[in-house]
Amino acid sequence: MTLVRRIVPCLDTDGARVVKGVNFTGLRDAGDPAELAARYNAEGADELIVLDIAASRDRRPTFLETIRRVAAELAIPLTAGGGIRTLEDARAVVRAGADKITVNTAAVEQPELISQLSEEFGAQAVVLAIDVKREIGNWDVRIRGGRDSAHLDALLWAQQGVALGAGEILLTSVDRDGTQSGFDVALTFAISRSVSVPVIASGGAKLPDHFLEIFRDGAADAALAASVFHDNTQSIRSLKQFLAQRGVPVRFPC
Amino acid sequence: MTVTLIDHGAGNVASVERALTRIGAASVRASSPQPIANAEILLLPGVGHFAALIRALDEKSLRQPLLEAVNRGVPFLGICLGLQALFESSDEAPDLAGLGVLQGRVSALPQTVKLPHMGWNTIRALRPSRLLRDVPADSYFYFAHSFAAPAAAGPATATCEHGAEFAAIIERGNIFATQFHPEKSGDAGALLLRNFVSLAA
């Protein structure tokens, strides 16, 4: 029995539609979230993440409706996030159909939010998203969509987040995000080895070799990608075949 | 036949509801004693902390009707924490009494592996299982837990391993339980749920 490595497509949305863009600029439409969710569910995605990257208060009802529509298409776990600042925000997202909640900036600003979420929903439902930029001598945690420094060391923040009750780390390399030059293997390996919980690697995926590398050398438990799946550059099924042939344990839907 | 979903406020009821809808099974939520006492089929979903589930059941006075229904032979399926709740106690909340339908204690998985045990794993069938009828032997199921029931628990029909072997499926008479989430386990999970519902029909 082996716990398989997970392939996790991510839907970045403006609340209603899946959008695509680098560093939150030049966003363009990449499809309907429910339609993409249904496709990934059928293709063998192991989980799905849906994010509200606009995260504006007045569009919240729209995003909750998006979660409901996406959840209805899935027979796999769904993680939702973007703009979750309070326990009540999280409850709304869970009621709409998310199995896990991901928090990022709000967790840095009020770390006790992690504990509150963990107590209410269980550690397995709390995904701490950490955006990291490589600086000289350390890995700097970034907040507000990667724009600002949190003045925290990524290794220490990851460990603190787990101690507070996070059950999983969603680790994004700000340097690699959008570059399609591969995951940050050294960063992922360092974080994965320093925490007791699973780590989802994110940022930079394009080629099947990038996924092989992050599982084989980066100690990632799961790997996330968005645009390579959305525009069909890479099918999930053929990616898993590639990985299986090279000895990475993956799941094929029956 | 309608599946009564025990809605204690600490479960993923909506996920289970959607999964039942997908397989064409009718379901109704129940959060008070009477509908649980009168149920034809009972399902106890649960995620989170053992204490939260047990306290919620007791605060809503659901323990007694649940036990009475199980004792009179109503088909029962516990999922994840709903499996663990069947035991006498759990290391996650040592002072609280579980439902005590099954003997034994739920304990933490060893810290030699990453916890929670999160993701897709295969299971090992120990003996014939009614829940696994027609389910391919190499099927994957979705797990998300840090505590587990002992593999040696008498009624386990299948086990899984993550740091240690533990009970993945329990079947005894009208009592069924899975440590994994069939409602999140793709086609294999849907088949298992269909087996459960049809057993009750």
Domain assignment present for B179: yes
- Top-confidence residue, B152 or B23: B23
E strands, chain A, in order: 6-13, 18-22, 25-31, 48-52, 78-81, 100-103, 126-135, 138-143, 148-153, 168-173, 199-202, 222-225
**Pair of tokens at residue A124:** 């397995």
- In this prediction, residue A59 carries a pLDDT of 80
Residue A24 pLDDT > 60, yes or no?
no
List the alpha helices (DSSP H) in chain B: 13-22, 33-37, 50-59, 63-71, 81-84, 186-200
Residues 5-64 of A with CB under 8 A from B: 6, 41, 46
Confidence band of A54 (pLDDT split at 50, 70, 90): confident
Lowest-pLDDT choice from A211-220, B1-10, B83-92? B1-10
Q: Is A69 helix (H, G, I), strand (E, B) or coil?
A: helix
- In this prediction, residue A25 carries a pLDDT of 60
- In this prediction, residue B10 carries a pLDDT of 64
**A99 with B12: Cβ contact below 8 A:** yes
Q: What is the mean pLDDT of residues A205-226?
A: 97
E strands, A47-114, in order: 48-52, 78-81, 100-103
Residue B14 pLDDT > 90, yes or no?
no
Claim: this prediction has a pTM higher than 0.90: yes
CATH number, domain of B81, equals: 3.40.50.880
Domain assignment present for B29: yes
- In this prediction, residue A232 carries a pLDDT of 85
Mean confidence (pLDDT) of chain B: 94
> From B113, which residue of chain A is nearest by alpha-carbon distance?
A196
Give me the number of domains chain B comprises.
1
Q: Which amino acid belongs to residue A242?
A: F
Q: Residues of chain A with pLDDT > 70: what percent?
A: 97
Altogether, the residues listed in chain A come to a count of 254
pLDDT digits (tens, 9 = 90+) for A80-97: 999 999 999 999 999 899
Q: To the nearest 10°, the Cα dihedral for B171, B172, B174, B178?
A: -20
Residue B5 pLDDT > 60, yes or no?
yes
The ipTM of this complex is 0.94
Residue in A218, A10, A187 with CA at minimum distance from that of residue A100: A10
- In this prediction, residue A103 carries a pLDDT of 98
Contact A201, A227 (CB under 8 A): no
Q: What is the mean pLDDT of residues B15-19?
A: 92
Domain assignment present for B126: yes
Q: In what order do the strands lie in the sheet with B105-108?
A: B89-90, B105-108, B147-148
- In this prediction, residue A38 carries a pLDDT of 97
Confidence band of B11 (pLDDT split at 50, 70, 90): low
Q: What is the mean pLDDT of residues B31-47?
A: 95
- In this prediction, residue A26 carries a pLDDT of 65
Question: Between helices B186-200 and B13-22, what is the axis angle to 10°?
Answer: 80
Contacting residues of A for B167, CB less than 8 Å apart: none
Residue A69, min C-alpha distance to chain B (Å): 11
Least CB–CB distance from A76: residue in B47, B160, B184: B184
Residue A148 to residue B181: CA distance in whole angstroms: 38
**B121 with A125: Cβ contact below 8 A:** no
- In this prediction, residue A23 carries a pLDDT of 54
Name all domains of chain A by residue range, CATH numbers in brackets: 6-245 (3.20.20.70)
- In this prediction, residue A21 carries a pLDDT of 66
Residue A228 pLDDT > 80, yes or no?
yes
Q: What is the DSSP string of B26-75?
A: EEEEE-SHHHHHT-SEEEE---S-HHHHHHHHHHTT-HHHHHHHHHTT--
Q: DSSP letter at A4?
A: P
pLDDT digits (tens, 9 = 90+) for A107-155: 999 999 999 999 999 999 999 999 999 998 899 999 998 889 999 999 9
Q: What is the mean pLDDT of residues B53-81?
A: 96
Domain assignment present for B175: yes
- In this prediction, residue A22 carries a pLDDT of 58
Domain assignment present for B97: no
Q: What is the mean pLDDT of residues A30-50?
A: 96
Domain assignment present for B180: yes
Residue B103 pLDDT > 70, yes or no?
yes
Interface of B with A (CB under 8 A): 12, 14-15, 18-19, 22, 47-49, 52, 111, 114-124, 136, 139-140, 142-146, 160-162, 181, 183-190
Residue in B100, B104, B70, B89 with CA at minimum distance from that of residue B173: B70
Residue B100 pLDDT > 70, yes or no?
yes
Domain span at residue B152 reads: 2-91+102-200
Domain assignment present for B24: yes
**B116 with A167: Cβ contact below 8 A:** yes
- In this prediction, residue A254 carries a pLDDT of 61
Question: Between helices A33-43 and A60-72, what is the axis angle to 10°?
Answer: 30
Q: What is the mean pLDDT of residues B49-55?
A: 92
Q: Is B77 helix (H, G, I), strand (E, B) or coil?
A: strand
- In this prediction, residue B137 carries a pLDDT of 93
pLDDT digits (tens, 9 = 90+) for A188-208: 999 999 999 999 999 999 999
